[in-house]
A and B are shown apart, each in its own frame.
Chain A
Amino acid sequence: EVQLVESGGGLVQPGGSLRLSCAASGFTFSRYWMHWVRQTPTKGLVWVSRINSDGSTTNYADSVKGRFSISRDNAKNTLYLQMNSLSAEDTAVYYCARLSVTTGGVAFDVWGQGTMVTVSS
């Protein structure tokens, strides 16, 4: 079964750090670009970051650039998101997602169950 399982969420104080993990199984993880997407009731679904298949290329939303760092360990089939200098605006459910690229189109075809990050004192 193709699966993504996030972990590492929790309560953190403003200015703090947190590292999220996303364990992949059931597919060849090293072949796919991987993404992080977050969701809040007020802003909805917002793309956060992406990393290419071998980890050599990363991109970030302006709102997290310089604070968040995406990485991957293809030997461990795991995606990471290091989040620093957290603020209340980073409070959200964080999803990892696989990007599928076919001749028919491009879309996030596999999603994790999400992990909640709450930034509060």
Chain B
Amino acid sequence: ENVLTQSPGTLSLSPGERATLSCRASQSVSSSYLAWYQQKPGQAPRLLIYGASSRATGIPDRFSGSGSGTDFTLTISRLESEDSAVYYCQQYGSTYTFGPGTKVEI
């Protein structure tokens, strides 16, 4: 199983700042199969990024994804208060796995 590790566990920033979230895989991941999700309390996850760097429909351009192989990054360029949430990376290889999440506090 491809284990995903996310860092940091919690990120506390101010509005307007830049957030950089890391996702590291224990085995190489095809970029096509790496996605990022946002989850707010009491809500289902929402797709932000697919294919490592493509924004999902309706996602603001302040969200961007990058990376390849075993190291991937989600960047939120100008934080807004509504971005407070937990962010998960997810991969598909032989099975589907999710990272433990990074909590972003604003």
A interface residues, Cβ below 8 angstroms from B: 35, 37, 44-47, 50, 61, 95, 100, 102, 104-109, 111-114
Q: Which residues in window 27-81 of B have CB below 8 A to A?
A: 31-35, 37, 43-47, 50-52, 54, 56-57
B47–chain A nearest beta-carbon distance, Å = 5
| Alpha-carbon separation in the docked complex, A55 to B34 (Å) | 25
* B78-106 vs A, Cβ < 8 Å mask (1 yes, 0 no): 00000000001010100111111100000
Which 6 A-B residue pairs are closest in the complex by CB-CB distance?
Answer: A105-B51, A107-B50, A107-B35, A47-B96, A111-B44, A45-B98
Q: Are B96 and A105 in contact (CB under 8 A)?
A: no
| Alpha-carbon separation in the docked complex, A104 to B32 (Å) | 6
Q: Are A105 and B54 in contact (CB under 8 A)?
A: yes
Q: Are A105 and B50 in contact (CB under 8 A)?
A: yes
Q: A45-B45, A109-B56 are in contact. Are A104 and B98 (CB under 8 A)?
A: no
List the B side residues contacting A45 at CB < 8 Å: 45, 88, 90, 98
A3–chain B nearest beta-carbon distance, Å = 11
B93–chain A nearest beta-carbon distance, Å = 11
Q: Are B33 and A105 in contact (CB under 8 A)?
A: yes
Q: Are A107 and B90 in contact (CB under 8 A)?
A: yes
| Alpha-carbon separation in the docked complex, A102 to B51 (Å) | 9
| Alpha-carbon separation in the docked complex, A106 to B99 (Å) | 16
Q: Pull 18 A–B residue pairs with CB atoms less than 8 Å apart, ordered by A.
A: A35-B96, A37-B96, A44-B88, A44-B99, A44-B101, A47-B97, A47-B98, A50-B96, A61-B95, A95-B44, A95-B45, A102-B50, A102-B51, A104-B32, A104-B50, A105-B52, A108-B47, A112-B44
Q: Are B45 and A108 in contact (CB under 8 A)?
A: yes
| Alpha-carbon separation in the docked complex, A50 to B92 (Å) | 13
Q: Are B56 and A44 in contact (CB under 8 A)?
A: no
Q: Are A109 and B47 in contact (CB under 8 A)?
A: yes
B96–chain A nearest beta-carbon distance, Å = 4
List the B side residues contacting A109 at CB < 8 Å: 47, 50, 56-57
Q: A44-B98, A44-B100, A45-B88 are in contact. Are A106 and B44 (CB under 8 A)?
A: no
